Amino acid sequence: MKKYILIMFIIFLPLFVFAGAKEDFDFAKKMYDDTLYEEAIGKFQDIVQQYPSSSYAEHAQFYLGNSYVELEQFVNAIFAYKRLLENYPNTTIYPQTVYRLAEALFDNKNYFEAAQYYQDIIYNYPQSPYALQSLNKIIQALEEAGMYNEAILVSMDIIESYADNDQMPTIMLSLADVYKLNNMPADYESTLLSLISEYPESDEKWEAIHDLSKYYYDKNDTSDALQLLKNSLVETIPRMYEQTLLLLYAELLDRSGETEESLKQYEEFYRKFDTYPKRDQIGLKIATLQYELGEYSDMINICKEFLEEFPKSSYTARIKYLQSAGLFNKNDYTQALHMLQMIDEEDTDVSILKDIEALRAEIYLKQKDFTKAISSYLTIIKKFPHIVSVDSVYFSIGSIYKNYVLNYENAINYYSIILTTYPESELRSDALIDVAESYEELNNYEKALEFYTQALSSRYTDAEQLNTLGSKIEYLREFSIKNQDQALENLLQTFAKFVQSNDYIETIYSLVQIYANNLKDFDGALELLKSDPLFESNPKLLLLKGKIFLTLAKKATMDDKEDVDTYYKQAEQIFETIVKDFTDIPEKAYAEFYLIKLKTQTFEQGSEEYVTTLQQLSLDFIDSYGTFPYIGQVYFDLGAALMEYGGAREQIIMYLQQASNLTQNEHIRNKANEFLGNLYLENEGYIAARNQYQKIDKKTIYSDPSLLYNVGFVYYKLNSLSQSIPYFEYYVQNYPKQEHYSKVLEYLGSMYMILDQSDKAIQYYALLAENEPDDDLLRKLRDLYILENRFDEAINISLEIKELNNSDRRTLAQIYEEQGNLAYSIVQYERIISNNITESDMLKDTEQLARLHFLVDDMAKALNNYIKIYNITESYKHPFETYNYLNWKQIAENTVVAYYRQKNRTQAENFEKYYKSIIQDDDSIQAHITLERGIYYADLDKRKARRLFEEVIDDYPQTDYADDAYLEFAILELSEKNFKEATEYLKILVENYSDSPLVNNAYLKLGSVHFSQGNYQQALEYYQKVIQRDTEGTYAMRAIENFALTCKAMGEWMLAIEAYQMLIERFGSPELTPETIFEISYCYYMDKEYKKAIQLFKTIQDKFTDSEVKAEIIYWIGESYYGLKEYDHAIETLLKIVYDYSFLDQWYVNANIKIAMAYEKQQKFDKARLFYQNIIERYGTNSNWGAEAKKLLDALP
């Protein structure tokens, strides 16, 4: 009878227990529902501890996590959910637990780990509602983790698998965001367009319209943006999107220059949405647009209304500023200043304060109070140096001094600040020119010339400025710069000659030249020539007088004065008089030389009359005066005129050659050679062009960007790359604003490619891509990055290609494979195959896709693709010959091997027969298949597996698989605990195949065998071999970890520390390093180096999110303090576990015991009792922990 009662008690005891569990759970759940989360946590913990095998424990653990989430204690929630999954792997609430765990990780910013759990639900529970909720969250998690490529892959997989799901528009929006972050604009645009067209009834469509409109505008496709919005605004827009889209439309109108239409849209919005929370912002925008349109009266009225309606708006200061600006533009400067004074500067944003001060400066300028204007600009520099272009403010001050105050010294000082402090300022050229002009005003023409010359060589000087500067420099040299020292020297020489020769005419001639050439006093020179009637009959003095009138005519032309013609007529009359009245004198030739220009200037330069007259006069002159000193210039002027007119090429060349040979003027010689070179260049006469350019001095070439380009180009065409490159590189460095800049970059890139200097080619192609990106250039740059093994840059530049074709995707796939990112490579081939491609391309790409799946050990997908190839080709009588572009041997080998790895022997054997003709004579493939067959049988028939491994070793000893067979033999023996036999096989592998990549694995396994048998020293020796041999780190990390573990087993704590330090040096990462430092800290603790242990443990306290690890770190810090006999520190440290980590049983118990022991050491036995009682009350004396605490408690005095 007692036996039956006992049996009944055993049967029904769980029911009583579970009844109690249900009652406790219902009570805890009610507390949870009533938002008493902190109280509920304790109850749920009690249920888990008291009823661990009850289903209520699972749910209690689940709600424990939920409670922590509600309290935003995400770390504790994460631990609670993970504990549920660990303790109840077959739980019925697995999907919701994993989902809540992922959500907690996401909220705790552990995005990558969150993504892994979202993926778990999606792939393993695809029909679960939690899977559907995870679809968009996994993309967001990967996006937040910065893993954009992974996010794209997952998104595409979801779109394919859940095409009909209601969440698809949201998924596409998230995918678009990832494309944008990953700098894939074409994919971003196409995704949004697809969303708009495929889901016209979705709310997400309107978000896509908004985002796409902004995207179009940002890439300067304003018309597309406006058209998209115009088409959309004719529909009925959901209220939640209406305001956003209308405002975007108004903003786009504004930014596209349609200011009036934009103003109308803002005004309509302002009237229509009178409850809009940011209505004051719209009011500000209206006032701003009215200001831009010059509607100052309306704008002032709007500002007044704004200040009445929104007196506390944060835009008040900006409105008052606009009102002041409006008054300024209405010339009411006093009221404008008064309004600025009314702005409360203490509560005003610094950017507005800067604008206020700038407006003050403008007002003071208008009021001609230049001192105050300058003071305002100096205030801007002092108060707002980080939000203004300080160089531009200094430029404004310099301009005031130069153009208004006429204090050129101060102007020069402020411009000089730009030149010295901001050498890369874009205002540099303007500053140089203004400094030069200031020096001109100060009659310091030498300094003016110096700064004009600097401006001429500045890389910030544009083409228009270059032309102007040339004229200014010429003017200064010819008309302004006086050389008084030279004048005095010439004067002394003149008087010395007069004393010797008493030649009155020659003395007057010299004095006139001193006036004209040295002192630039042309009027003085003419007055001297008028001083004696005798001078009017002297041809030498007459010629000099005519030349002075020519100089005055040129000066008047450059000064844009009206008396140009008067001077020319006076000069012409003088030269005509010399020609008519004198014979057989040298002055006559000079007179006729000058008359050529004077007689042709009445015609339009380049006209037929001009060229005909010039040619007749020039040829007559040449016939008459062939030895004339300036005959080269006559030839040059004639050749240049015919070039401009389009005359006969042979004639032009002849005249220019004569000019080059006969002129005594270096400038004319350089110009003649330049023109000749250009003529030869036009007809691709590169050698002749080079010969002419070589006659020009280097300084002239480098100072003229057009000539510089031509010289570099000629050497480029002649394949004289080493000579072409210096010219082109100088061009790039000094003339970035000139027309040939992009072309020069292209030539430099191509030349460095020819010279096999990829790094330099990349430098110039990258610059070109910044200025003028096009797909062909980007492809070229990508290929160069690949050549230099700069794969990340190759990928980035590939993603900038607008029209990414299949060839580009194949290249991308190859890059990803080279990097080891096989998953990304797979995505590219999948995209290629999804496009419409030829059968041959489809088969080749499918083969690559199958191979990649095989490499990532995804045998199912590898086989899907290999079978796809088989299905297409098997109908042909001779498929291997018909499709000979496929690697049939690899296809055959991988197909058979994949089936064995899929445990499908039947199909493996079928395909082995099918491919027999192409693999039967290949020992390597036969060895591989035999090996895989052996691995297949290893779990089914170990004897047969052994025979197959022996077959590989005996029949195919020279293949790459004989060493694999020995390793598989060892693995087989290890599975049966046959350590001796396993050791023998591993040693044979190491001895006979010393170059095998498996040797390190063999040494690692030998170490593990010896470790498991307690042979620690031998284990260390084998681990050491791996560490020394494995430079790539495939096995070295595990070897170092095992080495350290072995040292710990031996109690060799310092050796273990050295091993862990090596691990950090070779393989340190954000994840690995903290874990390794933990182990080092623990070793210091075990070696009684407590201070070092504490120091290191503290460095990693914040590196972990796992609560259990954090608690363990705190515990060992407390233990270390205990070891140092610093009991107060130990207690203080361990109390953190008692208070903050009480849900972690093991560390809670250990902390309580160690605290009690610390109090015992301090003779504080009452306090020690409290902590022993903590354990007893919580776990009872029937538990191991409670019993141990009771024992320690009873031992207290």
DSSP letters, 112-161, are: HHHHHHHHHHHHH-TTSHHHHHHHHHHHHHHHHTT-HHHHHHHHHHHHHH
Among 917, 945, 918, 920, CA closest to 933: 945
Share of the chain above pLDDT 70, in %: 98
Distance CA 899, CA 859 (A): 8
CA angle 315, 317, 321 (to 5 degrees): 115
| Chain CA centroid to CA 241, Å | 33
Taking every pair of Cα atoms in the chain, the longest distance, rounded to a whole number of angstroms, is: 166
Q: How many CB atoms lie within 10 A of CB 717?
A: 16
For residue 968, report the phi and psi dihedrals to the nearest 5 degrees. Answer: -65, -35
Of 232-241, 538-547, 579-588, 593-602, which range is least confident? 232-241
Look-up of token digits 């070897």: 1039
Q: Is 485 exposed, middle or buried (0-12, 13-18, 19+ CB in 10 A)?
A: exposed
| pTM for the whole structure | 0.58
Q: Is 314 helix (H, G, I), strand (E, B) or coil?
A: coil
Task: Name the pLDDT band for 893 (thresholds 50, 70, 90).
Answer: very high
Distance CA 539, CA 589 (A): 11
Q: What is the CA radius of gyration of the chain?
A: 46
Average pLDDT over residues 1048-1077: 86
Task: Give 178's contacts (C-beta < 8 A, 6+ positions apart).
Answer: 139, 142, 143, 148, 151, 152, 155
Look-up of token digits 């001094």: 401
Question: What are the Cα distances from residue 56, in Å, to 80, 87, 516, 594?
Answer: 15, 13, 113, 116
Look-up of token digits 């001192």: 371
Q: Is residue 17 over pLDDT 50? A: no
Of 41-50, 237-246, 478-487, 606-615, which range is least confident? 237-246
Q: What's the pLDDT at 15?
A: 40
| Chain CA centroid to CA 268, Å | 41
CB–CB of 264/294 below 8 Å? no
Task: Locate all alpha helices (DSSP H) within 560-626, ordered by sequence.
Answer: 564-581, 586-600, 608-624
Sign for the pseudo-dihedral over CA of 859, 860, 864, 867: positive
Look-up of token digits 């700098």: 183
Q: What's the pLDDT at 932?
A: 93
Q: How many CB atoms lie within 10 A of CB 842?
A: 17
Average pLDDT over residues 205-221: 81
Distance CA 469, CA 312 (A): 55
Q: Is residue 1 over pLDDT 50? A: no
Q: What's the pLDDT at 282?
A: 92
Q: Is 657 exposed, middle or buried (0-12, 13-18, 19+ CB in 10 A)?
A: middle
Q: Is 1129 exposed, middle or buried (0-12, 13-18, 19+ CB in 10 A)?
A: middle
Q: Tell me the pLDDT tens digit for each residue of 714-730.
A: 999 999 999 999 999 99
Q: Is 271 helix (H, G, I), strand (E, B) or coil?
A: helix
For residue 1041, report the phi and psi dihedrals to the nearest 5 degrees. Answer: -60, -45
Q: What's the pLDDT at 836?
A: 64
Q: What's the pLDDT at 589?
A: 93
Q: Tell me the pLDDT tens digit for each residue of 194-210.
A: 888 888 888 888 888 88
Q: Is residue 886 over pLDDT 80? A: yes
Distance CA 850, CA 828 (A): 13
Name the token pair of 785.
């990055």
Task: Name the pLDDT band for 13 (thresholds 50, 70, 90).
Answer: very low
Distance CA 842, CA 810 (A): 12
Q: Tell me the pLDDT tens digit for each residue of 133-173.
A: 888 899 999 888 888 878 888 888 888 778 778 888 988 88
Letter string b/e over residues 532-549, b meaning 16 or more CB atoms within 10 A of that residue's CB: eeebeebbbbbbbbbbbb
Average pLDDT over residues 178-188: 82
Q: What's the pLDDT at 1116?
A: 95
Q: What's the pLDDT at 24?
A: 87
CA angle 105, 110, 116 (to 5 degrees): 75
Name the token pair of 543.
């010629």
Q: How many CB atoms lie within 10 A of CB 640?
A: 19
CB–CB of 1021/1006 below 8 Å? no
Among 648, 547, 636, 557, CA closest to 601: 557
Q: Tell me the pLDDT tens digit for each residue of 792-829.
A: 899 888 888 888 889 999 999 999 898 888 888 888 88
Task: Name the pLDDT band for 5 (thresholds 50, 70, 90).
Answer: very low
Average pLDDT over residues 860-864: 89
Q: Tell me the pLDDT tens digit for each residue of 54-81.
A: 888 899 999 999 999 999 999 889 989 9
Task: Name the pLDDT band for 19 (thresholds 50, 70, 90).
Answer: low
| Number of helical H runs and strand E runs in the chain | 66, 0
Distance CA 846, CA 848 (A): 5
CB–CB of 454/430 below 8 Å? no
Q: Is residue 4 over pLDDT 50? A: no
- 190, amino acid identity: S
Q: Tell me the pLDDT tens digit for each residue of 952-967.
A: 999 999 999 999 999 9
Task: Give 801's contacts (C-beta < 8 A, 6+ positions apart).
Answer: 775, 778, 779, 782, 808
Among 276, 203, 274, CA closest to 243: 276
Among 873, 831, 872, 836, CA closest to 848: 831
- 102, amino acid identity: A
Among 320, 245, 251, 315, CA closest to 279: 315
Task: Give 613's contacts (C-beta < 8 A, 6+ positions apart).
Answer: 599, 600, 603
Q: What's the pLDDT at 618?
A: 94
Q: Is residue 16 over pLDDT 70? A: no
Distance CA 118, CA 128 (A): 12
Question: What are the Cα distances from residue 14, in Å, to 10, 52, 878?
Answer: 8, 12, 71
Q: What's the pLDDT at 364?
A: 94
Q: Tell me the pLDDT tens digit for each residue of 398-419.
A: 999 999 999 999 999 999 999 9
